[in-house]
Amino acid sequence: MSNLLEVRDLKKYYHLGKGVGKEQANVVRAVDGINFAVKKCETLGLVGESGCGKSTAARVILRLLTATAGEILYEGQNIELLSHQQLLPYRRKMQIIFQDQAGSLNPQLTIGSALGEPLRIHRLVIGKKELKAKVEHLLELVGLCSEHMCRYPHELSGGQRQRIALARALALNPQLIVCDEPVSALDVSIQAQIINLLQDLQHKCGLTYIFIAHDLRVVNHISDRIAVMYLGKIVELAGKKALYSGAKHPYTQMLLSSIPRLAPAGQRQRTIFSGELPNPLHPPAGCHFHIRCPHAFVRCTIEEPLMQMIDSDHNVACHLLDK
Amino acid sequence: MGNRYLRRLATLFFSLFVISLLSFALIEFSPGGAMARYVENPNISQADRTRMAERFGLDRPAPLRYFIWLRNTVQGDLGTSFMTGRPVLTEILERLPATLKLMTFSFFISIIVAIPIGIYSATHRHSLFDHLAATGSFLGLSLPSFWFGLLMIYIFAIWLNWLPSGGMITPWFDPSAYPLLIRPFVIFWEHTRYLLMPAIVLSLSNIGSWSRYMRSSMLDVISQNYIQTARANGVPERKVVYKHALRNALTPLVTLMGLDLPGFFAGAVVTEQIFAWPGMGRLFISAAGNRDYQVLMGIIMITAVLVLLGNLLADLMYRFLDPRVNYEG
């Protein structure tokens, strides 16, 4: 299968407090040179702690934020350099849904007009009748009915709002949907419904997902491959099975051991998380993770580890591999 | 629904009652009293003053006078002026249109200037314009209106001689002296040139605060995800700002406008004095100087009614502007 999206050495830096002599010190490297590719119809999970740059990466990929450096190749075309007009066809193919379902719908617009807007912008429908039919179809697709059309977002529940957000993302028949923690704000039973809906739609419409989450169970359930991010960098990228059975990076191991499991006391082996995410303004030298890593040695404090391929579908950035 | 409005109405009347009680007490406790201005006058003897006080009913104890005033006011009679002997209501209604004209004009100036400044500052954050607007609005908020008003008179009336220094209209202004074709423009300009300076002075502090508020409200909305979604959908940036963001950013401003209404009346007192504007503000100052307490009470009550009604209107508008506001509860 060919790559639908490829990200090459993508960077997004924020310069804080521009001032005389400050340019050097105050740079936050939210996304610091990430590389990955997404194949058609697959789901790439993107996990990591809060503040590791997952959401920033998502927004840069969709060009909601301008990248500092790097390439975003959509079907081979670098969309990073396109103008607003040139980008319009790609806007149709890439959509995003957010964690905060209340904030992702304009409170002033009824569901009907919110769903109708992308259709009108891209002139995909002619006349009011067709618009209404298409909106009804979209609502049906996400398991809602046409009577929701004249409701306002605040009249719906969280799960229903997330379905609406999904319906709007689907309105333009996209190929790629970036899901930025789409279920984190929902309770567990609704999470399952939305996840199942996402999977159904993937089969029905041939969608590709980039699925961002901090909950590994959810990511495990839906993803084909998983990328683990730490402080703006991808530290491990592997197929789901390879990652869960043989995680190589200590950070991934930590994340995996933190998943709550039902097991008799004493039978569980847990690597306890120590420390917190360091200040992204002053990340530690060498491997960013070494201050929290139980296996860190001298080299980790000096040299930054590079991504190495250890298997056809397993990449890790860690000095332990050479040891 | 109806219950809700009844409750609002009851609150409104209760507020009016408390305002009247407090103002009456304040006036009553202030030194001097209604007859104080005659003390220095050698032509009016102590006996004359006692006689006058009796005629105005001032010899009765204060609580009783308050209740008499309240009874009459409820019936629509605000009493008679100590100075002119004319009914207070007539005096006020003569002056009210001028004040409302000034306030309306100044309100529109504030909106027309503040909102675009706020939008531009928010969409071009940290730009040169944004910094200038920030400085300007703090200046506008902190400049005393009496000083700024006098400065404007000095520049535009005395130095440049572009605008009249005060008043509301030229007494001998005769529109029929002009050809029919340009007559509406002449009339419009005649009114505007007198209005311009006092209205600008009156709007100055509002422009300052409203533009800042508009900026932050706009920034709040722009960071919302539905703005991102609209952009991801390929909605043109102009439409994102004016259709999605602006309407949501404007609603909180409506409340602020309602709350700033008292500021207009308070500002009008000073502004009208500087520009010799024949409105309620000047009546208030002269009534205070003359210890014409009946007129003072009347103006306070009329202002209170207008402010409370304005706030009620702002609340109702909010309900129409924001579908999330639910008044049932």
Cβ distance of A107 and B231 shorter than 8 Å: no
Cβ distance of A121 and B225 shorter than 8 Å: no
Compute the average pLDDT of residues B111-135.
92
Count of structural domains within chain A: 1
Cβ distance of A87 and B234 shorter than 8 Å: yes
Compute the average pLDDT of residues A140-167.
88
How many Cβ pairs closer than 8 A exist between chain A and B?
65
- For residue A259, give the amino acid letter: I
Read off the tokens for B19. 């305002």
Q: How many residues does the structure list for chain A? A: 323
Q: Which residue has the higher pLDDT, B172 or A225?
A: A225
Distance CA A21, CA A45 (A): 40
The domains of chain B are located at 97-279
What is the pLDDT confidence band of residue A44, given thresholds at 50, 70 and 90? very high
DSSP string, A189-246: HHHHHHHHHHHHHHHHHT-EEEEEES-HHHHHHH-SEEEEEETTEEEEEEEHHHHHHH
* Residues of chain B positioned with their CB less than 8 A from the CB of A100: 225
* Residues of chain B positioned with their CB less than 8 A from the CB of A117: 230, 233, 235
| Residue B226 in contact with partner chain A when CB distance is under 8 A | yes
Nearest residue in chain A measured CA to CA from B250:
A108
Distance CA A138, CA A115 (A): 8
Would you say residue B131 has pLDDT above 90? yes
Q: Which long-range contacts (CB under 8 A, 24 or more apart) does A143-149 make?
A: A143/A197, A148/A111, A149/A110, A149/A111, A149/A112, A149/A115
For the ranges A56-65, A166-175, B50-59, B268-277, which has the lowest average pLDDT? B50-59
Distances (CA, A) of A13 to A51, A60, A229: 13, 11, 16
Q: Which CATH number, 1.20.140.10, 1.20.120.160, 3.40.50.1110, 1.10.3720.10, labels domain B97-279?
A: 1.10.3720.10
What is the pLDDT confidence band of residue B328, given thresholds at 50, 70 and 90? very low
Residue B171: half-sphere exposure toward Cβ, Cα within 13 Å: 2
**A contact set with B (CB within 8 A):** 59, 62, 64, 84, 87-88, 91-92, 94-96, 98, 100, 103-108, 117-118, 121-122, 152, 154, 165, 168, 171-172
pLDDT of amino acid B316? 82
pLDDT of amino acid A2? 75
Cβ–Cβ < 8 Å for A218, A258: no
Read off the tokens for A255. 């994340």
pLDDT of amino acid B177? 82
pLDDT of amino acid B266? 87
Compute the average pLDDT of residues A203-210.
90
Number of H helices, E strands in chain A: 10, 12
Cβ distance of A106 and B244 shorter than 8 Å: yes
What is the pLDDT confidence band of residue B329, given thresholds at 50, 70 and 90? very low
pLDDT, averaged across chain A: 85
Q: Count other Cβ atoms within 10 Å, centred on residue A26.
A: 14
Distance CA B50, CA B43 (A): 14
Compute the average pLDDT of residues A113-127.
86
pLDDT of amino acid B107? 93
How does DSSP classify residue B168? S
Interval A5-23: pLDDT, tens: 999 889 888 887 655 554 5
* Residues of chain B positioned with their CB less than 8 A from the CB of A87: 234
Contacts of B317 (CB under 8 A, 6+ apart): B254
Task: Quote the strand ranges of chain A, DSSP E.
Answer: 3-15, 27-39, 43-47, 69-74, 77-78, 94-97, 176-180, 208-213, 225-230, 233-239, 308-311, 314-316
Interval B24-69: pLDDT, tens: 999 888 887 777 777 778 888 888 888 888 888 888 888 999 999 9
Would you say residue B271 has pLDDT above 70? yes
Q: Rounded to 5 degrees, what are φ and ψ at A309?
A: -90, 120
Angle at A190 between CA A185 and CA A191, to 5 degrees: 60
Which of B234, B247, B323 is opposite residue A154, by nearest beta carbon? Answer: B323
| Residue B318 in contact with partner chain A when CB distance is under 8 A | no
Cβ distance of B323 and A59 shorter than 8 Å: no
Compute the average pLDDT of residues B199-215.
92
Q: At what angle do helices B246-274 and B280-289 cross, to 10 degrees?
A: 40
Cβ–Cβ < 8 Å for B314, B254: yes
Cβ distance of B232 and A98 shorter than 8 Å: no
Compute the average pLDDT of residues B133-150.
91
Distance CA A245, CA A232 (A): 25
pTM over 0.80: no
Q: Rounded to 5 degrees, what are φ and ψ at A260?
A: -65, 130
Cβ distance of B228 and A91 shorter than 8 Å: no
Mutation target to probe the A interface, by most A beta carbons within 10 A, among B126, B222, B224, B233 is B233
Q: Compute the CA torsion angle A300, A301, A307, A309 (nearest 10 deg).
A: -10
CA-based nearest residue to A316, from A237, A230, A240: A237
Tell me how close the Cα of A154 comes to any Cα of chain B, in angstroms. Answer: 6
Cβ distance of A122 and B234 shorter than 8 Å: yes
pLDDT of amino acid A19? 54
Q: Which residue has the higher pLDDT, B89 or B320?
A: B89
Compute the average pLDDT of residues A19-47.
80
Distance CA B38, CA B44 (A): 7
| Residue B244 in contact with partner chain A when CB distance is under 8 A | yes
Measured over all CA atoms, what is the biggest interatomic distance in chain B, rounded to whole angstroms?
86
CA-based nearest residue to A218, from A245, A175, A183, A171: A183
DSSP bridge pairs for A47: A213, A228
3-state secondary structure of B84: coil
Q: Rounded to 5 degrees, what are φ and ψ at A273?
A: -65, 125
DSSP bridge pairs for A238: A226, A314
Compute the average pLDDT of residues A181-200.
87
- For residue A304, give the amino acid letter: E
Would you say residue B144 has pLDDT above 70? yes
Mutation target to probe the B interface, by most B beta carbons within 10 A, among A92, A96, A106, A123 is A106
Distance CA A251, CA A289 (A): 8
Q: Which residue has the higher pLDDT, A109 or B38?
A: A109
Would you say residue B19 has pLDDT above 90? yes
Contacts of A41 (CB under 8 A, 6+ apart): A1, A202, A206, A207, A208
What is the pLDDT confidence band of residue B225, given thresholds at 50, 70 and 90? confident
**CATH classification of the domain holding A236:** 3.40.50.300
Interval A253-308: pLDDT, tens: 888 887 777 666 655 566 566 677 777 777 888 888 888 888 888 888 888 888 88
| Residue B231 in contact with partner chain A when CB distance is under 8 A | yes
Tell me how close the Cα of A321 comes to any Cα of chain B, in angstroms. Answer: 40
Read off the tokens for B213. 């508020």
Tell me how close the Cα of A22 comes to any Cα of chain B, in angstroms. Answer: 17
Q: Which residue has the tokens 């009946």?
A: B294
Domain that holds residue A91: 3-322
Give the H/E segment covering residue A86.
helix A84-93
Distance CA B99, CA B89 (A): 15
